[in-house]
Structure formats: structure tokens, C-alpha cells
Amino acid sequence: MCSVYIVGVGPGDQGLVSMRALEIIRGADVLVYDRLIPQGLLKLAKPGAELIFAGKELGHHVMEQEEINEVLVSKAREGKTVARLHGGDPFLFGRGFEECLEVTRNGIKCVVVPGISSAIAAPERFLIPVVLRGVASSAAIVTGTEDPGKRRRFVDFRELAGRVDTIVVLMGRHRIREIAKELIEGGLDPGTPVAAVSRAFMDGERVIFTTLGEVSGDGLESPVVFVIGNVVNAAKSLVDSQ
Amino acid sequence: MCSVYIVGVGPGDQGLVSMRALEIIRGADVLVYDRLIPQGLLKLAKPGAELIFAGKELGHHVMEQEEINEVLVSKAREGKTVARLHGGDPFLFGRGFEECLEVTRNGIKCVVVPGISSAIAAPERFLIPVVLRGVASSAAIVTGTEDPGKRRRFVDFRELAGRVDTIVVLMGRHRIREIAKELIEGGLDPGTPVAAVSRAFMDGERVIFTTLGEVSGDGLESPVVFVIGNVVNAAKSLVDSQ
């Protein structure tokens, strides 16, 4: 039976890839991969394996999602074992679910392998916990880039403000000022600490500590994870003591 | 220089452990481990390595957090390489941050290795995405068990209701009815779909599909991850089509 593996390969460091993911990569006939996967992984493909770059960078999609789905289905129908590699986790803003749905609808077996998500790991890289006993008991993970084709906006930052202790914004570099403005309008203090984590686990990784009133995406290289809340101060105290 | 590694080993399946984590486990002189780690990992320890069970089960702590911190510091001071293994991710309700802070305060180097969190991976095991284009753009991860010693409650479920698309409750088996009641009082429909994922990636894993009005922790084995929101219906459609 032909099958498609939807595989998370973590936040960009090859050491953070799971054993299961490596096994699938080594055995696959076809690898369909995103821009943000650890590049060394492709060298692990077996000789003759077909490598297909699916792109996915804000505003620079190489393949449309429909094309990606079509490739997964058609390659699997040729009897090939297909591994679809996602940076991070495939179901956390990765569209892995949509791919799995499409594959399954076509009678093809779909296996999902979770990965380490940058939503949690990127802050952790700079010793920032998104939750912390006595400081934060809840963390919301939200997208900063919503599908412009949608009929309604899903994330109402004014409503979210103050309802969770920590807000983690993914894919929000271009809209972070607007998001911060809405959070302040929703009641958050402009002095609320913010960490902007850029390219965690990749070349040029860095963190900038700022506040909600001052945050901007200028000069930051993608991908950026923004962490908003008092956990950021906890991390600073740890970093300072090192 | 002595050092302590704070290592996430994922949600319970040895295949989901990262290469980096395995390397550290193989090289450590001392392994301090939680109840919910993949048990096969301990067999990878080098001959003569010291294995210390730290426990951590609701209501059945084998070691207090202060004792764990003390062990990490004292073993490292003996010049040993210490690996502190956490199920899931060490910073997502794992107290890894607190351990890191304590270790660092004692002049010992602390290295953190992220892991796959069950907050995302346990639902994914049953093809439930916590966010999904067109259905959910935000997910809150919250603890269902707050420290009773705290002066104030951190998670106000009445306030959270309706402010995020998906609510993921960890460690909430004993309190889920009360939490559901508060979410309904906060405005969520009692018919809101809920998935209770029990022991994902471990023996006896299963999922129960229910609603906010009907959910209960009775008969479910720990650990349980509750997913509350319309993403649960999306998953059901996928499972049905398989």
C-alpha cells in the first residue's frame, strides 16, 4: 500500500530531528520539503530519491498548496513512499492537516510524525519559558499572518489581551506593530515585556528584548517568534545570572 | 566545567526523541528522570551511570522540586555530567526553567534541549490539529492543575472562553468538569466539541470525542490532554474518511 508521511523536522537544528523522522527520510522515494528545514537532512535521502522543493516563504510561495497536495497524491499513486517534510511541527500552522486530509480522501494512507515546534522551542533557545509557575499558567499561540482570502479575521488581539498570560505570535514580523497596537487598545500595558526571537537554531539567531510599546519587526530576519508577557522578564533574570 | 542538561524527550514514544537528546543520554554520568519518559531510554545510559527517579505524578511526588534542584547541583559539583530528562518539553509545565535557574545561580552551566510537547503532539496522534486554516487561528495551552499554594488563580476560564479558538488543557483530568462549567459560564456553547486524548504514544492510548457539556475525566488514564474547539470536528471528518 502506498503511503504519505507528514513529518515535522523541528525548528532548524538537525540535532533536534527525531529518530522516527530520520528513518522516514532515509527510506523515502520522494521528499517534498519546505524552505525552513535543516538543509543537511536532504543529504540523508537514499540514492535516486526525488527531492521536490515546495517553497513557502511569506509572499514567495514556490508551489501553491493545491499543487503540493497534487504532488503528494500523484507520487504516492505511482507506488512511491512520499515524505512531506515540514519545519517545526506539521500541524501547528504547517498545513500538514490539510495535506493529510487530501491524501486520505484519495484513498492513500497518511502517517503523521510530530516535530518540535518553534512556538515553544524558539523562545526556549534563549531560556524563555512560555509558561512558568507563579508567572504564567496559560500561553496562546497565534498566527500574525492570516489568510487574506478569509471572510472574517480569526484573531481578535483586543479580545485576547489580558485573557492569557503569554501570547506567542508566529509569522507576525510584518504585522507586529499593528498587533501590539491592538493588544494595547485591548488593555495591555505598553511596558509589557516582549522578546523577538529571530532565526532560532539557525545561522544568525538572536533575541531582542523590548516592550509592547516599542516592538517592531524592522531589521529582524525571518522566521521571528514574538513572546509577549512577564515570562520574558523571568528569562532576562536567568540570562543575566549566567 | 561541569554542566547540567535539561532535556525534553517527547511525549512517550522513543522514536520521537531527538538525536541531541539521545547523545546526551548516552554520555551522561547521572540521569535524573520523570515518570513519563520512554522507559527504553534508560537502557541507553552508559555502564555505571547513576539513574535517579524523580517521580512527578499528580499527588505522588517522589522528590520535591527543591530536592531535585539540590541533586542536580550537587552531582554537577562532583564533576559529573548530569542529564535531567523531562517527558515532553522541559519548559512547558515541566519546571525545567526553575531547575535551570537554580543550576545557573550555583555557577553551573545549564544547557536546554527542547522536546516535542504533548500539548501539540497528543492531539496530533489522533489527527487533531490545534490550529487549522479557516477553523482556528489561535490555541491557548493551559494547565488544569494550578499550584494550590499560589495567592491567586492564574487561569480564568470564564475570561478565556471565546477569546481563543482552541483551548488545550494539560493536567486537567481531575478538574475538567469544573473547567468546562466555567467555560460555559464564560459563554462557550455546551455543544462545543471536545477531544480527551489519553496516554498518547503510550500503551493504552485512546481518544474520546465528546462535548463541553458532557466531558468528564472519569475512566481516563493519565496523562490526558483535552482539546476544546471546532478543530475537533475537523479531525473527526478526517478519521471518518480513513
- Check residue B63 and give its pLDDT: 86
Q: Provide mean pLDDT across the span A24-49.
A: 96
Do residues B84 and B6 make contact, with C-beta atoms less than 8 angstroms apart?
Answer: yes
A238 confidence band (pLDDT: 50, 70, 90): confident
Give ipTM to 2 decimals.
Answer: 0.94
Measured between alpha carbons, how far is B36 from B96 in angstroms, rounded to an integer? 15
pLDDT tens-digit profile of A104-114? 999 999 999 99
**b or e along A30-49 (b: 16 or more beta carbons within 10 Å of the residue's beta carbon)?**
bbbbbebbbeebeeebeeeb
Enter the CATH code of domain B3-113. 3.40.1010.10
Q: Where in chain A is the domain with CATH 3.40.1010.10?
A: 3-113
Q: Where in chain B is the domain with CATH 3.30.950.10?
A: 118-241
Query: Taking 90 as the threshold, does the pLDDT of residue B94 lie above it?
Result: no
Do residues A202 and A87 make contact, with C-beta atoms less than 8 angstroms apart?
Answer: no
State the sign of the Cα–Cα–Cα–Cα dihedral B130, A133, B175, B179: negative
B56 is catalytic: yes
Fold designation for B118-241? 3.30.950
Measured between alpha carbons, how far is B12 from B46 in angstroms, rounded to an integer? 21
> Mutate which of B98, B137, B171, B175 to disrupt the A interface (most A C-beta within 10 Å)?
B137
Contact assignment for A117 to B117 by CB distance below 8 Å: yes
Contact assignment for B133 to A15 by CB distance below 8 Å: no
Query: Taking 70 as the threshold, does the pLDDT of residue A150 lie above it?
Result: no
A56 is catalytic: yes
pLDDT tens-digit profile of B31-75? 999 988 998 999 999 999 999 999 865 556 678 889 999 999 999
Measured between alpha carbons, how far is A82 from B40 in angstroms, rounded to an integer? 29
What's CA A205's distance to the chain center, in Å?
A: 15
- Check residue A55 and give its pLDDT: 81
pLDDT tens-digit profile of A47-98? 999 999 998 655 566 788 899 999 999 999 999 999 999 999 999 988 999 9
- The residue of chain B with its CA nearest to that of A24 is B15
Residues facing residue B134 across a β-bridge: none
B238 confidence band (pLDDT: 50, 70, 90): confident
Please count the residue pairs, one from chain A and one from chain B, whose beta carbons lie less than 8 angstroms apart: 200
B236 is catalytic: no
- Check residue B148 and give its pLDDT: 55
Å between B214 CA and nearest CA of chain A: 24
- Nearby residues of A12 by Cβ (< 8 Å), 6 or more positions away: A36, A37, A38, A87, A118, A199, A200, A201, A202
Bond prior to A148 in cis (omega within 30° of 0): no
Query: What value does the mean pLDDT of chain A take?
Result: 92
Out of B101, B113, B163, closest to residue A159 by CB: B163
Measured between alpha carbons, how far is B120 from B220 in angstroms, rounded to an integer? 19
- Which ranges in chain A belong to alpha helices (H)? 19-27, 65-77, 96-105, 118-125, 157-160, 176-185, 231-241
- Check residue B235 and give its pLDDT: 82
Contact assignment for B137 to A114 by CB distance below 8 Å: no
Among A15, A9, A13, A16, CA closest to A31: A9
Out of B124, B137, B140, closest to residue A154 by CB: B137
Out of B20, B130, B155, closest to residue A16 by CB: B20
Contact assignment for B164 to A162 by CB distance below 8 Å: no
Out of A10, A105, A142, closest to residue B138 by CB: A142
Measured between alpha carbons, how far is B103 from A91 in angstroms, rounded to an integer? 34
Å between B129 CA and nearest CA of chain A: 5
Query: Taking 80 as the threshold, does the pLDDT of residue A217 lie above it?
Result: yes
Query: Taking 70 as the threshold, does the pLDDT of residue A153 lie above it?
Result: no
pLDDT tens-digit profile of B95-124? 999 999 999 999 999 999 999 999 999 999
Contact assignment for A20 to B19 by CB distance below 8 Å: no
Helix B231-241 to helix A96-105 angle, to the nearest 10 degrees? 30
CA angle B24, A20, A79 (to 5 degrees): 160
